[in-house]
Amino acid sequence: MIDCNAAIAALDWSKEPQGLYAPIAYALSSGGKRLRMQLVLAGCRLAGGNEQDALPFAEAIEVFHNFTLLHDDVMDRADVRRGKPTVHVKWNDNTAILSGDQMLIEAYHLLESVPTQHLPQLLKLFTRTATEICEGQQYDVDFEQRDDVQIADYIEMIRLKTSVLLAAALKGGAIIGGATEAEQEALYNYGIHLGLAFQIQDDLLDCFGDPATFGKAIGGDISCNKKTYLLLSALHRANPRQYSELHRWLELTEPSAEKIEAVKALYIATQAREAAEQAIAEHTAKALECLKVLPQNSETHHLEQMALSLAKRNA
Amino acid sequence: MIDCNAAIAALDWSKEPQGLYAPIAYALSSGGKRLRMQLVLAGCRLAGGNEQDALPFAEAIEVFHNFTLLHDDVMDRADVRRGKPTVHVKWNDNTAILSGDQMLIEAYHLLESVPTQHLPQLLKLFTRTATEICEGQQYDVDFEQRDDVQIADYIEMIRLKTSVLLAAALKGGAIIGGATEAEQEALYNYGIHLGLAFQIQDDLLDCFGDPATFGKAIGGDISCNKKTYLLLSALHRANPRQYSELHRWLELTEPSAEKIEAVKALYIATQAREAAEQAIAEHTAKALECLKVLPQNSETHHLEQMALSLAKRNA
């Protein structure tokens, strides 16, 4: 089995000018689970392919993902990523913009090495996915200013911003592994539901997680009035009294422990928390359903376990 | 003959979210000569191809070029481009970053439509060129902080930042048109020398141009101590007295009409101006030399005229 962290660490960024490439090496060195890369390789193995054939596509997906993090951190003014200063803090905004651009170009450079017969299809899949992720990021920005965001809008936003990359990772691997079109689509849809369950779980953990395991302060989304699945559900489900109470708290923009506790209580009282847990269960079930059309082997079993463990994760 | 401005205007940016796509439409609407696009089509016609086959590659090159302008304007804090507010002024920095990213992805999207048999080669050419342009931009940034920049470093920087895109435009068109490898390389090298002559001429015009035709204030490069061909040549050619006089002016960082006049006089006295004119003549001659191995037709003649008129341009 390919060691994803080792494969990413083996990419050579020692070339000149280092002002361009050192920030790329830095952005890719902070590790993480390399989840998307793993999904490419799993999709390939599941379809009976040799995972080595899927390595360039897996690397392209991983470099692309880290490019989006780099530019998102500039736009969000995020100072820390995985315990380390972000690129625009360690260097500056211009470096983060230009080295980020080059990372996106490097992702396409890696695509040149995919099996030639699959190049046109993988290029299209990659570019469509990249486009959807930018669209998702734009919707996320737009939602901050909008008062009419519905739960369905939110689901579509996180589908674009988070799910399609997991889905495309699996599908790309499956294409390289020689899967049928039906299998490719099943894996793609599994990835979509996995991503949705993952993101809604993230919203729950931000609010109800254990600070000891979650790694971030609890209630960050509440403090900045982020339109999460929980907030949109609570607004949708609240009775008039709960609705106006929630709105009073939304008007408070300073950090407040009292606000966090009060809004959490409203999420419970309006059953928004239950609705979120149910949505996670539904998307997990749909993800598992997608796996049924696939060859039942140890890889399929692994994806099954991944969906099930996601619904129980606490970090 | 394809009307390049009409072809760019026909690209559809009416899709959602408009927060992402409207800035792209805006950035592409400001016109310009569409020089790089014209070069793709010319390269294709010169090789005997149908220029319609080269249109997607031409559009990709043009969209990519405008992406670099968009992100460069953020990094340079440039407020105006072709008489209109830049995207980060009309919207904001985050919009310029994200819509710029999407423009780069759209350039790759356009590449999906190149003739399939040429896709691998054109993808490689495009990505290598995009990489070189980012490297050139980084060298340009690095040079601001360096005191040891040589003329050869400067030539290499403008080769990367300006020339390779003209060269790749011509070569990509030639590939699509069915040119031999020797012809492709000849056109590529013509583009390199054309770009070098163009940029050195730009340095000259910024300093000795006619304000009535140049369109920008004269002496901008001198005011900001930009390490142009003229400045590097003057530093290289100056006698000790001229050298220390030049350095005294470089220490003055406020805008000064007196500085502009004094430095211009030094460019003449050190024969830096003559050296720049000679470099333009040399690169023009080399560009013309490259054309000799190509089929001699009206397209070749057109490229010949382009190189010759460049050396005489005043805007």
Contacts of B134 in chain A (CB under 8 A): 20, 98, 101-102, 105
CATH annotation of B180-315: 1.10.600.10
Please identify which residue in the block is written with the tokens 């991944």. Answer: A306
| Whole-number Cα distances in Å, B40 to A90, B44, B49, B122 | 40, 6, 11, 12
> Of the candidates A74, A105, A142, which has its C-beta nearest B131's C-beta?
A105
**Are A101 and B101 inside 8 Å of each other by CB?**
yes
Could you tell me which residues of chain A have a Cβ less than 8 Å from any Cβ in chain B? 16-17, 19-20, 71, 74-75, 93-94, 97-98, 100-102, 104-106, 108-109, 111-112, 116, 119-120, 123-124, 127-128, 130-131, 134-135, 137-139, 141-142
B84-135 pLDDT, tens per residue?
A: 999 999 999 999 999 999 999 999 999 999 999 999 999 999 999 999 999 9
Chain-chain contact of A141 with B104 (C-beta, under 8 angstroms):
no
- pLDDT tens profile A198-208: 999 999 999 99
Residue-level pLDDT at A86: 97
Cα separations in angstroms, B235 against A6, B229, B232, B257: 48, 10, 5, 21
pLDDT for the residue numbered A299: 95
pLDDT tops 80 at residue A215: no
Instruction: Judge if pTM exceeds 0.95.
Output: yes
Minimum-distance CB partner of B119 among A94, A120, A131: A120
Distance from C-alpha of A40 to C-alpha of A67, rounded to nearest angstrom: 18
- Is the CB of residue A264 less than 8 Å from the CB of residue A208? yes
Top-tier CATH class for B1-179: mainly alpha
- The mean pLDDT value for A278-303 works out to 96
Q: pLDDT band at residue A213, thresholds of 50, 70 and 90?
A: confident
pLDDT for the residue numbered A211: 82
* CA–CA dist B233, A121 (Å, integer): 51
The pLDDT tens digits of the residues spanning A3-19 come to 999 999 999 999 999 99
Paired tokens of A150: 């519905």
Amino acid B32: pLDDT: 83
Per cent of chain A over pLDDT 70 is 99
Q: How many CB atoms lie within 10 A of CB B167?
A: 26
Taking the CA atoms of A121, A126, A128 and A129 in sequence, report the sign of the dihedral they define. positive
Tens-place pLDDT, residues B9-33: 999 999 999 999 999 999 999 878 8
Residue pair B74/B50 in contact (Cβ under 8 Å)? The answer is no
CA distance B286 to B293: 12
pLDDT on residue B313: 77
In this predicted structure, what is the pLDDT of residue B184? 98
Nearest to A97 by CA among A70, A63, A128: A70
Residue from A65, A66, A67, A105 to probe the interface with B (highest B Cβ count within 10 Å):
A105
- pLDDT one-digit tens code per residue, A23-58: 999 999 987 889 999 999 999 999 999 999 999 999
A311 pLDDT more than 90: no
Determine the Cα–Cα distance for residues B282 and B269; give it in Å rounded to an integer: 21
CB contact under 8 A, B138 and A108: no
Average pLDDT for runs of 10 along chain B of length 315: 96 98 96 92 97 98 98 96 95 98 98 98 98 98 96 98 98 98 98 97 94 82 96 98 97 93 98 97 97 95 93 73
What pLDDT was estimated at residue B210? 87
Contact residues for B271 (Cβ-Cβ < 8 A; gap 6+): B237
pLDDT band at A158 (very low <50, low <70, confident <90, very high): very high
Res. A312: pLDDT tops 90? no
Nearest to A109 among B104, B127, B137 (CB): B127
Contact (Cβ atoms closer than 8 angstroms) between residue B194 and residue B166: yes
pLDDT above 90 for A156:
yes
Q: Which residue of chain A has the CA closest to B67?
A: A101
Write out chain B residues lying below 8 Å of A138, CB-based. 17, 19-20, 98
Contact call for residues B287 and B193 (beta carbons, < 8 A): yes
Please answer yes or no on whether B17 and A74 come within 8 Å at the CB atom: no
Please tell me the predicted confidence (pLDDT) of residue A314: 72
User: pLDDT band for position A307 (50/70/90)?
Assistant: very high
ipTM tops the 0.95 cut: yes
Q: Do B1-179 and B180-315 have matching folds?
A: yes
Predicted confidence (pLDDT) per residue in A89-134, tens digit: 999 999 999 999 999 999 999 999 999 999 999 999 999 999 999 9
* Residue A84, strand partner residues: A81
> How much is the pLDDT for A261?
96
DSSP summary character for residue B160: I
A to B CB pairs, distance under 8 Å: 105
Chain A residues in contact with B108 (beta carbon < 8 A): 108, 123, 127, 130
The residue extents of the domains of chain B are 1-179, 180-315
What average pLDDT does range A156-178 have in this prediction?
98
SS (H, E, C) chain A: CCCHHHHHHCCCCCCCCHHHHHHHHHHHCCCCCCHHHHHHHHHHHHCCCCHHHHHHHHHHHHHHHHHHHHHHHHHHCCCEECCEECHHHHCCHHHHHHHHHHHHHHHHHHHCCCCHHHHHHHHHHHHHHHHHHHHHHHHHHHHHHCCCCCHHHHHHHHHHHHHHHHHHHHHHHHHHHCCCHHHHHHHHHHHHHHHHHHHHHHHHHHHHCCHHHHCCCCCHHHHCCCCCHHHHHHHHHCCHHHHHHHHHHHHCCCCCHHHHHHHHHHHHHCCHHHHHHHHHHHHHHHHHHHHCCCCCCHHHHHHHHHHHHHCCCCC
Between the alpha carbon of residue B277 and those of residues A153, A295, B216, the distances in Å are 60, 70, 21
